[in-house]
Amino acid sequence: MRAWTILLAGFLLAAPWFATSAQEPKTKQSKPQAAPVVHGINPANLDTSVKPCEDFFKYATGGWVAKHPIPPEYPRWGSFDALALRNQEELRGILEAAEKDTKAPAGSIERKLGEFYAAAMDEKKADELGIKPLQPELQAIADVKDMKGLAKEAAILQHHGVNVFFGVGSEQDAKDATEVIAGFHQGGLSLPDRDYYLKDDPKTKAVRDAYVNHVTKVFELLGDPADKAAAEAQTVLKLETALAKVSMSRVERRDPKATYHPMAFAEIATLTPDFDWTLYAREIGLPEIKGHINVGEPGFFKGLAAELKTVPLDDWKTYLRWHLVSRYSGALSSEFVKENFAFSKTLTGAQQDLPRWKKAVSATNGAMGMALGELYVKQYFSPEAKAQVLDILHHIKAALREDLETLPWMSEATRKAAIFKLDKIVEKIGYPDKWRNYSKLEIKPGDYVGNLWRASSFEDARDLAKIGKPLDRTEWGMTPPTVNAYYDPGMNEIVFPAGILQPPFFDPKADLAENYGGIGAVIGHEITHGFDDQGSQYDAYGNLKNWWTPEDLKAFKERGQCIVDQASQYVVDNDLHLQGKLVEGEAIADLGGLTLAYRAYHMALGDKPAPVVDGFTGDQRFFLAFATVWASSTRPQFARLLATVDPHPAARYRVNGTLSDMPAFAKAFGCTAGPMAAAKGCQVW
């Protein structure tokens, strides 16, 4: 339930109905290659027909993009994805070895990982079983007779990873970061965002039409007659649209104060009185609530109450049935998997489904990610790499401290609090100090759906058990092989999994310019999140608490508004612009992070001149390394999806938008005019 600010949103997260899909298509499939390791800047990645002062993104990455077209099974392809594929291939090797290891003791993580992966790979058995693995729960839904039964079934489904009605989980108390409380938040939608239900432009309407057709076909696969299936699909759309109408927008939810509403557990019943919260809490395994809970969006729960009062029970049962099958259909027989992918094409533009092994690796990582990560770091991450990354990190923190000490627009009171917060940031590099215990997770050979069902229950129980207990600050929110990073404002920590600490981000054999422009920009990005539009509202200990003077806060917000206005001008697809307020935090982090990395790079150089390599100065290679990280191309459908749900700007604007605000870039490439000249750039940090 934490509101992390992360470096890059993973595209599978945007479409959960096919994330666990495990069917390989019969058509011939391309085989994108994992990213080859090239030390330093590769001149072949450039497109020198483009002037760097006109479009640096294309100049720096055009050669790479031309040589790496989007594979048909992906909605986007870039440096992130190529590195993620290399990590995925390494995980595949670990899992295949575990699958073949007959000497692994029963109950060991090697045995559990091997058995989970083997079950996920068994396409033949999935086809033989069809819908049978879900029949007991489908029957339980059919047996619901009243509102009490509806509350009980909702708890069972949520406990097993099915997104119905709302979300519940543990979260830090925003006003007392040492405590873990229960948080209840809006949910219950199948499409990626509420806007897909509410917007009336032709492309959004086309997605809704395709969605209704998809739901209809899934109900037909369950054995319903065509006319009944079509009516059921309309019921699902109607109910989800009603929930979308009472949901807060992503922009509204970016304000942490807007989603913090502490109240006694009994008070939630006043918001949704027709829902049996006592029965629900008992069924889902919610611990006894002695203090308060957080109801993130009270208006949503009031809106849900109105629907529960008026919508017939049979319609809610149709809704539950759809969500159950949608969540698990990727692990069912071929016809369900094919139908899942058919609809995902509408949202992402991908032309072919992923091969079975990739989805099996992802599913295993999703179920037992820390166990898999434990085996991964033993093979692929060295203590020496960790030490080098920490050295870069400490230079960047020193650069921010120097900046905070000299900012002319910041008063001494705010300056003192900001430096104190910087000093309190916790650094997590590579992998956690202690590993998660999976001894209570039961994995059965050949039972893919059952394993997913039990893994979801295991994770939900682990999460709920934290409620009412002191905060565990050693916990990680990403697995070690993940190609990503994050800042958690409640924990005031920066986290860099081992998976991202590889080329093109970090290379022990590259020089300072490349590493500071690559992983240095990533580190600076995450540190800056502690001082962006969201992170700046939390103090050094992770409490939602103002530490700004009124004058300084006004000055900070004015600088942030410059970023919002700039980003809002960027066009994603035809008439679709970025949502400036949605991407504000990430754009601030991109600009602040690269600015800090640049200063830290020169601190690390000391009095030594940077070498000229392949005709590029150190500063030029620094900026080229930054752009290389974002080398990518995206299908139009997926670009529109990301513009709706993703708080990160599109890759082109993460490069051009950020660099157009940096005088150091303009100086490095001699940009005196044009889009990259930084004549009137924004500056926050």
Residues belonging to the active site: 526, 590
> Tokens at residue 22, please?
């495990």
Question: Can you tell me which residue has the tokens 């950020």?
Answer: 658
Q: For residues 373 and 98, what is the distance between their CA atoms, to the nearest angstrom?
A: 13
Which residues, at least 6 apart from 345, have a Cβ–Cβ distance to it below 8 Å? 351
Kindly calculate the radius of gyration of the chain based on its CA atoms and give it in whole angstroms. 25
Neighbours of 202 (CB within 10 A): 7
Neighbours of 483 (CB within 10 A): 25
Q: For residues 672 and 664, what is the distance between their CA atoms, to the nearest angstrom?
A: 12
Question: Can you tell me which residue has the tokens 């290399």?
Answer: 86
Q: Which residues of 589-617 are buried (b: 16+ CB within 10 A; e: fewer)?
A: bbbbbbbbbbbbbbebeeeeebeebeebb
Q: For residues 581 and 557, what is the distance between their CA atoms, to the nearest angstrom?
A: 12
Helix/strand/coil (H/E/C) assignment for every residue in 355-406: CHHHHHHHHHHHHHHHHHHHHHHHHHCCHHHHHHHHHHHHHHHHHHHHHHHH
CA distance readout (Å), 254 to 3, 179, 683, 684 = 9, 22, 21, 19
Q: Across-strand partners of 170? A: 182
Q: Across-strand partners of 78? A: 632
> Tokens at residue 375, please?
């085996």
Which residues, at least 6 apart from 9, have a Cβ–Cβ distance to it below 8 Å? 642, 645, 646, 647, 648
Of 161, 140, 123, which is closest to residue 328 (Cα–Cα)? 161
Cβ–Cβ < 8 Å for 647, 640 = no
- Give the CA count within 13 Å in the CB-facing half-sphere of 363: 35
Helix/strand/coil (H/E/C) assignment for every residue in 569-597: CCEEECCEECCCCCCHHHHHHHHHHHHHH
Of 195, 172, 158, which is closest to residue 260 (Cα–Cα)? 172
User: Quick check: bond before 503 cis, omega within 30?
Assistant: no
Q: For residues 128 and 334, what is the distance between their CA atoms, to the nearest angstrom?
A: 10
Does residue 613 sit in helix, strand or coil? strand
